[in-house]
Amino acid sequence: MTGCTRSVWATVAVAGALAMPALFGASAAQATPKPDNSWIVNVDIENDAVAGTDRYYTAGQRVSVVMPSDLTPKWASRVGRALWGDGMQRIAVGIDQSIFTPSNTQVTNPDPHDRPYAATLTANFNLIQDKDNNRSILGLALGVAGPSALGRQVQNGFHDLIGDTENKGWGYQIRDEPIIQFTSERTYRLPMYKFWGLETDALPSLTFGVGNLRVYGQTGVLFRIGQGLQSDFGPNRIRPGLTGGDAYTPTGRFAWYIFAGGDGQAVAHDMTLDGNTWRDSRHVSRQPFVGELEAGLAIIAYGMKVSYTHVVQTQEFHGQHGGLFQFGVFNLSTRF
């Protein structure tokens, strides 16, 4: 383990220790936020180009829509109340694509010991339930991994558009396989100190994912300083990783915050590393634990939200090149 990796894990361990009391302690009764009858549209772009690389988790894109709270189906509302008690409920639906490549993309037959080419394309359905100081999310993702996820077409099509070279090894990507994935997540919003007109808080969270795409548990915490922190539960990201969820409700015309934090993931299965579930395909030896640090800025103004998150990640598989991996996350959201 390198010195940089040890530093990431030390920070993640501290973040996890800070998160545990809130996540597993008794939850006090909390007020339910007022209904939010606005539509929300989110666009998220994740890419490693900000670090000057084109490998591993190289691109992710997602579009999602959050429905007004008064359009939550009765059956979904009953599920939320049975799981979490009373709260303000919204449904979010979206579609996302993630693209993965080895480090050398200019050979037709990639190194069999490097991360395999892979892509996933899923439709996502999330029930979001808010109380004043916590958010619970229950999610279902349905889709496909393999050639039908269109990773080769999207990546090489974009490279053609910008005049870059095409990646040559997509013929060795993992094979087509349907995806069914369940996710459960709880995030707490814990106000801390106020000074010089600024607010601070902590957002400890716990996430579990079960399905043939991934089986993992994740805990982490995000710290924020700014104004209008009650507007959301942190910046958006494509899972896995710390995400505030798609919904936000501005407390005023303008809110902003800078943030930093980390998470640790215990990974029992990852199709993009382990290969297909029922068919033989390229695969590598997965790391059982992955740590992340992230920092960035979010601005909410006149109903629109813009954020940037920079993520630093430990190795996901044995033999991964280049030490710590980095990528950026851009988010644009609007309400109407």
DSSP-derived secondary structure for 243-282: ---S----SSSEEEEEEEEEEEEEEEEEHHHH--SSS---
pLDDT (mean) for 192-215? 97
Residue-level pLDDT at 4? 52
DSSP element (H, E) containing 147: none
**pLDDT over 80 at 16, yes or no:** no
Residue 8 clears pLDDT 80, i.e. is over it: no
The yes-or-no verdict on residue 136 having pLDDT over 80 is yes
Supply the mean pLDDT for the chain. Answer: 92
pLDDT band at 161 (very low <50, low <70, confident <90, very high): very high
Using one digit for the tens of pLDDT, what is the confidence trace for 101-115? 999 999 999 999 999
Q: Is the pLDDT of residue 25 over 90?
A: no
228 conformational bin, left if phi > 0, alpha if psi -120 to 50, beta if neither: left
pLDDT given at position 29: 54
Band of residue 22 on the pLDDT scale cut at 50, 70, 90: very low
Q: Which residue has the tokens 């007109």?
A: 197
Can you tell me the distance from the alpha carbon of 137 to that of 125, in angstroms, rounded to the nearest whole number?
A: 10
Query: How confident is the model at residue 23, as a pLDDT?
Result: 46
The owner of tokens 């290969």 is: 275
Collect all residues with Cβ–Cβ distance below 8 Å to 162 and sequence separation of at least 6. Answer: none
What are the tens digits of pLDDT across the range 207-222? Answer: 999 999 999 999 999 9
Q: Tens digits of per-residue pLDDT, 262-313?
A: 999 999 999 999 999 999 999 999 999 999 999 999 999 999 999 999 999 9
Domains and CATH numbers, the chain: 40-335 (2.40.128.140)
Which parts of 54-197 are beta strand (E)?
A: 56-66, 88-101, 118-131, 134-145, 177-188, 190-195
Highest mean pLDDT among 2-6, 51-55, 91-95: 91-95
